[in-house]
């Protein structure tokens, strides 16, 4: 009998990495529709682990850095910015949650502030014109307010 689903894969190590891509057994998943489906079905369970949940099937996932990444930014400093995530959801950027980590990687909080998201390089470049240096600090103007971009913990 033919098998389908996560349980049909013998090793089945699924991971989401810093580059914003899904991997299966260290091979990139190149099918954009499957990658988007995985991102949309991603959930954190009570013990802190991550899983992809589709109907009755579950597969544990290794998250390399953040569970979601920012893929694009729209808007402007006056009106504020909207970010798009790798699951194709859009939400207002909460500029007060912006932090900068190692290698100058930009992060924000998403999904109601519950989770961190890493900015992919193209999204960072879309937001960069709104970022300025003032008195040795980086700030962003968004929605008529200035917010300091703090170092990540």
Q: What is the pTM of this model?
A: 0.91
Residue 82 near residue 93, CB atoms below 8 Å: yes
pLDDT in tens, 66-77: 999 999 999 999
What is the secondary structure of 40-108 as a DSSP string? HTEEE-TTS-EEEEETTEEEEEEESS-SEEEEEEEEETTTEEEEEETTS-EEE--GGG-EE-GGG-EEE
In terms of residue numbers, what domain contains 129? 68-151
Residues 52 and 100 in one domain: no
**What pairs with residue 85 in β-bridges?**
70
* Maximum Cα–Cα distance across the chain: 68
pLDDT in tens, 110-133: 999 999 999 999 999 999 999 999
CA distances from 70 to 56, 93, 137 (A): 29, 10, 23
Helix (H, G, I), strand (E, B) or coil at 127: helix
Which pLDDT score is estimated for 25? 92
Residues 48 and 74 in one domain: no
Residues 41 and 94 in one domain: no
Residues 81 and 96 in one domain: yes
Residues 81 and 145 in one domain: yes
- Whether residue 8 is predicted with pLDDT greater than 50 in this model: the reply is no
Quick one: which of 92, 98, 93, 77 has its CA closest to 143?
77
Is 5 contained in some domain?
Answer: no
Judged on CB neighbours under 10 Å (0-12, 13-18, 19+), 130 is middle
Which pLDDT score is estimated for 87? 98
Residue 153: pLDDT band with limits 50, 70, 90: confident
Is 6 contained in some domain?
Answer: no
Residues 100 and 137 in one domain: yes
Q: What is the CATH number of the domain that holds 42?
A: 3.10.540.10
Is 1 contained in some domain?
Answer: no
Which pLDDT score is estimated for 10? 53
Residues 92 and 26 in one domain: no
Residues 110 and 136 in one domain: yes
Which pLDDT score is estimated for 5? 53
The rounded percent of the chain whose pLDDT value lies above 90 is 90
How many structural domains comprise the chain? 2
Which pLDDT score is estimated for 4? 46
Residues 44 and 110 in one domain: no
Residues 72 and 54 in one domain: no
Question: CA 62 to CA 17: how far, in whole Å?
Answer: 8
Residue with tokens 């703090």: 150
Q: Which residues of 71-105 are buried (b: 16+ CB within 10 A; e: fewer)?
A: bebebebeebbebebbbeeeeebbbebbbbeeeeb
Q: What is the CATH number of the domain that holds 98?
A: 2.30.270
């Amino acid at each position: 009998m033919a098998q389908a689903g996560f349980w049909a894969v013998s090793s089945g190590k699924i991971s989401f990495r810093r580059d914003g891509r899904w991997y299966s057994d260290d091979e990139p998943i190149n099918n954009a529709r499957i990658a988007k489906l995985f991102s949309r079905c991603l959930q954190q369970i009570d013990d802190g682990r991550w899983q992809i949940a589709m109907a009755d099937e579950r597969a544990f996932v290794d998250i390399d850095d953040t569970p979601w990444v920012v893929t694009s930014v729209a808007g402007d400093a006056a009106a504020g910015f909207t970010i798009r995530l790798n699951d194709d959801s859009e939400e207002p950027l909460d500029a007060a949650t912006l932090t900068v980590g190692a290698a100058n990687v930009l992060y924000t909080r998403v999904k109601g502030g519950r989770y961190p998201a890493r900015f992919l390089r193209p999204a960072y470049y879309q937001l960069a014109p709104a970022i300025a240096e003032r008195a040795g600090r980086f700030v962003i103007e968004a929605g008529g307010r200035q917010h300091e971009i703090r170092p990540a913990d």
